[in-house]
Amino acid sequence: MGEKERTTTGIHGLDPLLSGGFIPGRSILVAGSPGTGKTTFGLQFICEGAKAGEPGIILSLEEDPKAWREDMTNFGYNIEKLESQDLVRVVDASLVRIGLVSDERFSITPQEFDMNQMLTRIIREARQIGAKRILVDSLPALDILHASKPPEYIRAEILKLNYVLKSNGMTTMMITEIPEGSKTYSHNGVEEFVVDGVISLHYLSLGSQSGRTLVIRKMRGTHHSEDIHPMEFVDGKGIVVRKVEDSV
Ligand SMILES: Nc1ncnc2c1ncn2[C@@H]1O[C@H](COP(=O)(O)OP(=O)(O)OP(=O)(O)O)[C@@H](O)[C@H]1O
Ligand SMILES: [Mg+2]
């Protein structure tokens, strides 16, 4: 009854919790404290999408792509191979932020490092490979472009980013960092209202026990699980989300 088309999230176990996956062309914010698995989550979304016939762009604003390309091999993902097939394109903006030049094949130049030009560049790269997905890792790294600007300006910039990526038909995943236990889901307090969906990742410890969990906080246009789901990193596979009843 009025079922919408779905596209796989790429995260093992997550599609059934979202009535089949993400709605294509929507935007999702992935929020979590340090080390909760945000980058791995985003890269898995891109790699699995590419394997399923949806090419993807990775805008890396913080971490050196060489490091995460290597880390993802632990989970069985060969990003370089997907890049050589034009199924994934990495646009590096991790060094330009600190005034250094990247030796990556596709990188944002110091002249391009403002929101409008960066968006123009990303859309150009996306069109070249027919991208259907984009990952932005991570939003707080863009703060440097908004330094000393009022909150309304920042809100408008985030709206623009969300609008431009979505209006080009791409399922958009944006990563943000929040302190554990935070009452908001984003850095500027506006991102979670602008996007269509919010998924939060947590690292909890209780006594000598610790564990990772995932919560679908909002997802417009679909029924979704409202439970706190156990989440694991599995060698050779990547992130796996479990049903609550499987956690005992
Ligand atoms: N092979 C692995 N097996 C189990 N856990 C792993 C493995 N590789 C990474 N991890 C866990 O994942 C964490 C890092 O994942 P990731 O880089 O995706 O997180 P993040 O939320 O993006 O981190 P940051 O806040 O630093 O950007 C590590 O701190 C570690 O706990
Ligand atoms: Mg990260």
Residue closest via CA to ligand 1's atom 7 equals: 233
Planar angle of CA 34, 178, 113, nearest 5 degrees: 85
pLDDT at 188: 83
Distance 242 CA to ligand 2 centre (A): 22
Going from N- to C-terminal start, the domains of the chain cover: 15-242
- Pocket probe for ligand 1: among 233, 239, 240, the residue whose CB has the most ligand atoms within 8 Å is 233
Atom of ligand 1 nearest to the CA of 175: 22
CA–CA distances in Å: residue 53 to residues 50, 56, 135, 168: 5, 10, 16, 17
Residue closest via CA to ligand 1's atom 31 equals: 35
Residue 176 CB less than 6 A away from ligand 1 = no
pLDDT at 101: 86
Residue 4 has pLDDT above 90, yes or no: no
**Residue 178 carries which DSSP code?**
-
Domain 15-242 has CATH 3.40.50.300: yes
Between 180 and 71, whose confidence is greater? 71
Residue 74 CB less than 6 A away from ligand 1 = yes
Q: In the predicted model, what is the mean pLDDT of residues 179-186?
A: 86
Residue 220 has pLDDT above 90, yes or no: yes
pLDDT at 247: 63
Residue partners of 159: CB distance under 8 A and separation at least 6:
194
Question: Are 64 and 137 in contact, with CB atoms under 8 Å apart?
Answer: no
